[in-house]
Amino acid sequence: MNLKTYILSFTFSICYFVAFAQPEVVNEAAKLIQEGKIEDAKIQIDKAITHPDTKDKALTWYYRGYICKDLFKTSKDTSFRNEAIKSLKISIELDSEHEYDGEDKKIIQFLATGMYNEAVESLNLQRFELANSLYKQYLNAMKITDPNYNENKVIFYIGYTAYMNQNIDEAIDYFEQAKALNYNDPLLYQYLGKEYWEKGDKDKAIAILEEGTENHPHYTDIVLLEISYLITMGKWDELEPKLNRAINLKPDDVELKRMLAIIYEKRAKLEKDKKDELIAKSREIYKAILTTSPDDFKANYNLGLSFYNEAVDKMNSIDEEEDDLFALFEIQDANIELFKQALPYMEKAHNLQPENQESLIGLSGIYFSLNNAEKAKEVEDKLAALKAKNK
Amino acid sequence: MRFKFFYILILTFVLCLVDSNRSVSANDYLNAFRAKFLYMITKQIEWPSSRTSGDFVVGILADQTVVDALNTAFTGKTVGAQSVKVEAYSTIKDMKFCHLLYVAPDKSTELSSAISIAKKNNTLLIAEKDGLIKQSCLNLLPSGPKFELEINKGNFNSFGLKYAATLEKYAKNVVE
């Protein structure tokens, strides 16, 4: 608001009001304002708000709002700001002829703008409780000027500050309001989904994140959050399209690709009829990663482990009641091929991170399984030395 | 106001979620083979009738990782009508009656001390090292990257044990 215009307008108003007959006590307050004696004016106007002739006049409350606003400006005491807004609200309510409400609203908007700025500042300083209170005060003040006022951004930030204060119910309430008011920010869905999850409403959380992804298809964080929840819920079969979506958004992200490969491996354990197909898919991904990033430790390690685990699974799948010893001895031949395939990846992983215990264990497992006792011993010694060093 | 690190944080979190429990134990595979073999071999062996009541005792002379793996593998298993009970021995001196004794390669020097007790108790002695078929009933012979079966027919007879005729078809070597 243009302060100069505002002061001129107000000075004109004072002169106008004083020129006409007003109850003495109000006139006195107006004169004191003109003379810049704001504290004395406050004493007079406080008498006026209890005087039978003036307490129900819109002008009386307007002056009081004005005086309290000035006192707030000089003292920064927020109780004056609150009193100003309260008085101006009464003034508007009493002003059936709409003589002063324009001025009332201007002052309220001026004070509310200050509240908003303070709220943003508090937010930046991570003083979330204070920011939450100031955003609410701002909203309430603006609703006095326009009962239909609903700024979805402010409502979102009330929700956000409640979220940061761990007030789940309040956060959900405001986030839902902001959503209903079409607040268009992916963070809204991210936080709202998170709050429903925290509250234990898992299906609602997933539904919100789905909606968020639909409205903000290029925002990866929502997809990842949904993936983490689906994993926690054990819904492995629903993850593939989500991850593919995330990979399409970030095609260079190796971690996402590796995650998809791991999810195929997890599914392979659960969906026995699709096991081979899923394992093949996961290996394809690891190999694709290694084509572009041959030194990716995890891809090397996981791929080596994938072949090793297949051999262990094959061994464990022998049915002791139904199969005969022939099957047991025969399966060794097939498994040797798997260990041979596992070996170069595990060796590479070990070379990339020589002090990584997992790859040492994996490597010794492969050497043991290939009955290469000498190499297995060598790796085990390295592992023992490493453990002793890390003690 | 955006949390720029949220993506990294959530990605790391998700990776931890999906990537947990991936480590292996070095002997997973060999122990799985041993467990399968030791259990399946019991179906090929006939113990004297005096040994077919009570628990079926599997004795293990091996390090703790092997013992743990075999213990897990044998939990809830039966041989005929007998429930399997696993007993781990740290030396052959601890050995009590058992239907079957598995001697790990690193404990094979103690095998010779087990023979007389095994004979008396009709214990099936199973070794896992080249050259040990002479002192045992069965030997899992490391042959390159796999095991092959050796049978000592003479020891079976002197230990009072019989094996199914089909067992020889799995064996690489049968010692009289």
Q: What's A96's DSSP letter?
A: T
Phi-psi region of A216 (alpha: psi -120 to 50; beta: other; left: phi over 0): beta
Question: Looking at residues A206-215, what average pLDDT do you find?
Answer: 94
**At A369, is the secondary structure helix, strand, or coil?**
helix
The per-residue pLDDT for range A80-99, each reduced to its tens digit, is 999 999 999 999 999 999 99
Whether pLDDT at A286 is above 70: yes
Nearest CB partner across the interface for A221, out of B10, B36, B170: B10
Interchain proximity B25–A369, CB inside 8 Å: no
d(CA A203, CA A207): 6
At B48 the pLDDT is 95
User: How far is Cα of residue B84 from the mean position of the Cα atoms in its chain?
Assistant: 13
In B, minimum Cα distance to A365 occurs at: B26
Residues of chain B with a CB closer than 8 angstroms to some CB in chain A = 1-2, 6-7, 10-11, 13-15, 17-19, 22-30, 32-33, 36-37, 39-41, 44, 142-149, 167, 169-170
Q: Dihedral of CA A160/A161/A165/A167: which sign?
A: negative
pLDDT band at B3 (very low <50, low <70, confident <90, very high): very low
Question: Looking at residues A209-224, what average pLDDT do you find?
Answer: 89
Question: What percent of chain A shows pLDDT beyond 90?
Answer: 61
Q: What is the predicted ipTM?
A: 0.83
User: Which residue from A37, A33, A55 is spatially nearest to A46, judged by alpha carbons?
Assistant: A55
Rounded to a whole number of angstroms, the distance from the CA of B115 to the nearest CA of chain A is 26
Question: Looking at residues A248-272, what average pLDDT do you find?
Answer: 88
d(CA B1, CA A283): 40
Question: Looking at residues A288-311, what average pLDDT do you find?
Answer: 93
At A3 the pLDDT is 46
Who wins on pLDDT, A72 or A376? Answer: A72
At A15 the pLDDT is 47
What rounded mean pLDDT belongs to chain B? 87
At A20 the pLDDT is 46
Interchain proximity A221–B29, CB inside 8 Å: no
At B138 the pLDDT is 96
pLDDT band at A145 (very low <50, low <70, confident <90, very high): very high
Question: Looking at residues B80-88, what average pLDDT do you find?
Answer: 93
At B30 the pLDDT is 84
Whether pLDDT at A8 is above 50: no
Interchain proximity A365–B33, CB inside 8 Å: no
Interchain proximity A320–B40, CB inside 8 Å: yes
At A270 the pLDDT is 86
The per-residue pLDDT for range B15-39, each reduced to its tens digit, is 666 665 555 666 778 888 899 999 9
Nearest CB partner across the interface for A361, out of B11, B24, B30: B24
Whether pLDDT at A191 is above 50: yes
Q: What's B107's DSSP letter?
A: G
Chain B hits for A308, Cβ within 8 Å: 24, 29
* CB contact at 8 A, A92 and A105: yes
